[in-house]
Amino acid sequence: MKFCTSCGNSVILQIPAGDDRKRFVCSSCELIHYSNPRVIVGCLPIYEGRVLLCKRAIEPRKNYWTLPAGFMENGETTVQGAARETWEEARAKVSNIDLYRIFDVPYINQVYMFYLCDLDNGVHDVGPESLETGLYKESDIPWNEIAFPVVTQTLKSYFSDATTGDFPVRVSAIDYRPRQK
């Protein structure tokens, strides 16, 4: 960041009074510009025991499979954002949306929230950010082509939990991992 979003003057990186970390502070109006984690919301849509996956048409991880998810927008709840992303990426409507997994990913300043839900009527299609969509049983999932560690962990949790029918909310952290190729 180089300029204040309030007055347009230059900013400097410093520890503001009463704070414990460096922040961008306007050299003129002294407005503190906080940089906080981004929230990614998505769904784990289920239809007849199969999960809906999308093959990414965009980077990062183009041509790899993922759950429908993306950045939460201002003015929406996490549930609204997860349902919107599912529509945008898979042209799918979902219902019975319940929080299922939360991942803290501090090394990239992100928080992921996945909601377990029903895929209405099993209907899905390709959205602008997807090359393909499909419903998968556990044995058919292209495990070596999953885009992100949080998706792999969410899928594995789901299939394990499905054996008991108990789907507790879990919170975990993803430590730094070198970029996959």
| CB 144, CB 129: distance < 8 Å | no
- Statement: residue 93 has pLDDT above 90: yes
| CB 169, CB 102: distance < 8 Å | yes
Predicted confidence at residue 63, as pLDDT, reads 98
Q: Which of 147, 110, 113, 145 is nearest to 129 (CA)?
A: 147
- Statement: residue 14 has pLDDT above 80: yes
Looking at the DSSP bridge assignments, the partners of residue 98 are 116
Instruction: Place 41 in a pLDDT band, splitting at 50, 70 and 90.
Output: very high
- Statement: residue 176 has pLDDT above 80: no
According to DSSP, residue 106 is labeled G
Instruction: Place 106 in a pLDDT band, splitting at 50, 70 and 90.
Output: very high
Instruction: Decide: residue 59, CB within 10 A, 0-12 exposed, 13-18 middle, 19+ buried.
Output: exposed
Q: Which of 56, 11, 3 is nearest to 30 (CA)?
A: 11
Residue 107, classed as helix, strand or coil, is helix
Structural domains for the chain: 1-35 (2.20.70.10), 38-173 (3.90.79.10)
**Type of residue numbered 116:** L
Instruction: Name residue, tokens 């950045």.
Output: 71
The full length of the chain comes to 181
Instruction: Place 177 in a pLDDT band, splitting at 50, 70 and 90.
Output: low
d(CA 33, CA 139): 48
**Type of residue numbered 168:** P
d(CA 15, CA 59): 35
**What would the mean pLDDT of 55-61 be, rounded to a whole number?**
96
